[in-house]
Amino acid sequence: MNTRRVLVVDDSNTCCRMVEIVLRKCGFEQIECAQNAHAAFARLREQPFDIVISDWEMEPVSGIELLHQVRRHPDTRGVAFILMSAKKEPHWVLEATRAGVDCLIAKPFDAETLKQKIAQVDNARERTKVREGVS
């Protein structure tokens, strides 16, 4: 069982539920879904989440724009952010990296791939804490 809170953001209810099912297979139990970036940011400001998993291509506010909002706000900037996308071209990866994404995951993905990506994020964040002397 994983006690971390996860917010899944996707304008497709079907995709949101599919990611939720995959997360449950990975042992997560505290999962909420938001149908758009505005609702997601409001939820993030209401209560803490440990991980955001957001689709990139949403309307009217994209996942990358949500990432920018999250990183700019002092209450949310430390949240781990995973961006889901079919975009794999180097310029998209660079844009996401510059915006402060913790990890990109290519759609479609399975439980094992998501588990590996979350582990990569956790490991990178731990290394950063050690480098910065934070325990």
Q: What would the pLDDT profile of 20-40 be if each residue is shown by its tens digit?
A: 999 999 899 999 999 999 999
Indicate whether 3 pLDDT > 90. no
Average pLDDT in the 62-79 region? 95
Instruction: Give me the domains of the chain, ranges plus CATH numbers.
Output: 2-132 (3.40.50.2300)
| 79: Cβ contacts below 8 Å, ≥ 6 apart | 44, 48, 49, 50, 51, 52, 70
Q: How confident is the model at residue 134 (pLDDT cuts 50, 70, 90)?
A: low
Distance, CA of 73 to CA of 29 (rounded, Å):
26
